[in-house]
Structure 1
């Protein structure tokens, strides 16, 4: 399920210097033995592709910041951070296999960096989980990544409006009627989840505002003449 979740500012002002430093620290913590710099270049180039309006380096920075907040709930914070880096590394708004291709990219890149097979497999699993954002009970790593990715839904009114506008811009090639129908279906899928947020922090701080935002957007879409 593509929630259309990345950032709202099409100028994408994310601090790539900070992101490069973060990447180095993350892969070092994960046990990398190879030079991380070329992979940072490739990933940041991918996240800055021109077709992106929400799924940008700013979204990446936002998700990483949320993983910091939620790190105490993860079984393997390094794997979660790596999954955040890869979860939308391949992104074409007109394609449905983005998560699978992003997971496959992680499966190729991480062994080249010297990341062990078990952690590589966990990162790929987590990336694939962002198709549904519906981790199984007890999947602590999945709960953290999915909550971090969906936290954008809990923004204040202005932030959520900017997010929704960025999603629409990303799908600018889709006619209005088709976009409203598709977006309404995504919103209903999210609202039908028993819980949007699975970590204690997410449930306490993000669940209620996210549901209010989703419901308001859905009402606006379905009431449109």
Structure 2
């Protein structure tokens, strides 16, 4: 049994996990796919003992990109809404909803250690080896935004990535390489010029 199914049965118990996989398998996705989901689940599994509320973190991991339309500005809101529709409105769902909404700006809403890990999991890709970062992340993001002209994409992508460099810290938990993430972002920005 894969870790997704294992944790789904442990924390949720229903069989509608197939709907989640269908969402992450939509044709407009190139980076925000099941591969991204499963990578975050690997990180969840590796660091699970550090969480105070593992179920809330699991729900946030699974549902944070369950709705993904590159042309929409409401993906996080719609993902949080789908979490509530499919799972419910218990306390863990409410916490997970807050975590998902925190990915809009990838910023902390409080000093919640679980949130720090969750946000860092989502941005772990920034600290990968640059060749993998470029091929498995940056190029895949460009494909997701293929409807935009090169000029529009470069303007938008430059703004987003430059904002990460302006932050005091990209990572909050200290488990990923901050310097490598900054180096990769700088390299990508040079390639966009």
TM-score range, shorter chain: over 0.9
Higher relative contact order (CA 8 A, sep 6+): 1
Number of the residue aligned with 1:20: 5
Residue 66 of structure 1 deviates from its aligned partner by: 1.7
CA contact (8 A) 2:120 2:173 kept: yes
CA contact (8 A) 1:47 1:57 kept: yes
Once the two structures are superposed, residues 54-111 of structure 1 have per-residue CA deviations (whole angstroms, 9 ceiling, x without a partner) of 0000000011112233334422122101110000000001101000000011112212
Number of the residue aligned with 1:36: 14
Number of the residue aligned with 1:161: 134
TM-score computed with the length of structure 2 as normaliser:
0.93
Number of the residue aligned with 2:22: 45
Q: Could you list the runs of 5+ residues in structure 1 that have no partner in the other structure?
A: 1-15
Q: Could you list the runs of 5+ residues in structure 2 that have no partner in the other structure?
A: none
**Residues matched between the structures, number:** 192
Residue 168 of structure 1 deviates from its aligned partner by: 0.5
Hey, what's the Cα distance between the residues in 1 that align with 2:134 and 2:110? 32
SS of corresponding position for 1:200: coil
When the two chains are superposed, the root-mean-square deviation of aligned CA atoms in Å is 1.7
Residue 148 of structure 1, aligned match among 121, 138, 156 = 121
CA contact (8 A) 2:3 2:41 kept: no
Hey, what's the Cα distance between the residues in 2 that align with 1:216 and 1:142? 28
TM-score computed with the length of structure 1 as normaliser:
0.80
Number of the residue aligned with 1:214: 185
Residue 48 of structure 2, aligned match among 44, 54, 71 = 71
